[in-house]
Structure 1
Amino acid sequence: MPRLDWLANHMSYSDTLAEWLYRQFSYEFVEQPLADWQREFADGQRNGNWKCLIALADGELLGSAALAKADLAERAELGPWLACVFTTPQARGQGLAERLIDAICAHAKERGITRLYLHTHDRRDYYLKRGWQTLECLQVWGEEQWLMQRNL
């Protein structure tokens, strides 16, 4: 079973994970070069802007989820956010994303956070089944995005 740990403890994976996220969510990075995002993401592990939890098995990076201070400029008043949810193709369908998400929610709750937000363009049903509520649908980056929240 993959173990979960903070990316800050395994920074050698930071650039790889940032690149995976950059490719998975490419519409979000149209105006930002990969190297700039990698630098921002790595800095975010140190300053808390992108506190990322990762899944590892036998030294292999399998997935991530993050507690982000800000993740949607169009709703800058909201936060914190569940962000950077990703699993590698070989790790999908095994409940790993759910483990990562639950761990981020538990971490947030332990810190006195009572509500998290997220945005998704294609996984709304996934999150609805896991206790998230839809707030609104908006157009961002030329994509339909569902803004959602979950009380912790």
Structure 2
Amino acid sequence: MPRLVSLRDHLEYSDTFALWVHQQFAYEYSEQLLVDWQDEFREGQSNGEWQTLIALEDGQLLGGAALAKDDLAERPELGPWLACVLVAPQARRRGLAEQLIEGIYSQARAKGHERLYLHTHDRGDYYAKRGWEYRELFHAWGKEHWLMERKL
């Protein structure tokens, strides 16, 4: 049974999860070296920029999601953000993404936040079915993306 834990308390998984994010969302990181992203992401666990929950099972990393202070440089007035939602291929179809996202909602509520934002180019329907509202369409990283928000 997977357990959700704070990456801040298990930094040995930080570089691996950052690698997965860098690969999965390569269009966003095309101008940032992997090693620089790994450093930024690891530091973000303690400075509050990328507060991440990860799913572990038998010492194996299965996925994660982050409560990000800023995930869209063009919109600094918005935040916090649900970001870096990712489940390893072998662990999909087990409801882990849902659990991770719910965990981020709980973290955000505990910090007094009333809403979250996210951006996606291909998963809008997934989030809309889960209470997220489409806010606006924008163009970034060579793709059209939806900016979405959700009241907590």
TM bracket (short chain): over 0.9
Residue correspondence of structure 1 range 1-152 to structure 2 within 5 A? 1-152=1-152
Q: Unpaired runs of 5+ in structure 1? A: none
* Partner deviation per Cα, 1:8-56 (whole Å, 9 max, x = no partner): 1110010010000000000001110000000000000010100000000
Q: How big is the shift at 1:75?
A: 1.1
* Partner deviation per Cα, 1:107-145 (whole Å, 9 max, x = no partner): 111221000000011100000000000001110111111
CA separation in 1, counterparts of 2:97 and 2:41?
20
CA separation in 2, counterparts of 1:84 and 1:123?
13
Q: Unpaired runs of 5+ in structure 2? A: none
The runs of at least 4 consecutive aligned structure 1 residues that moved more than 6 Å come to none
Q: Give the residue type in structure 2 aligned to 1:25.
A: F
CA separation in 2, counterparts of 1:13 and 1:110?
25
Q: Percent identity between the aligned chains?
A: 62
How big is the alpha-carbon RMSD for the aligned residues of Structure 1 and Structure 2? 0.6
Q: Give the residue type in structure 2 aligned to 1:6.
A: S
Q: How big is the shift at 1:106?
A: 1.2
Residue 117 of structure 1 aligns to a residue in which SS? strand
Q: TM-score, normalised by structure 1?
A: 0.99
More helix by share: 1
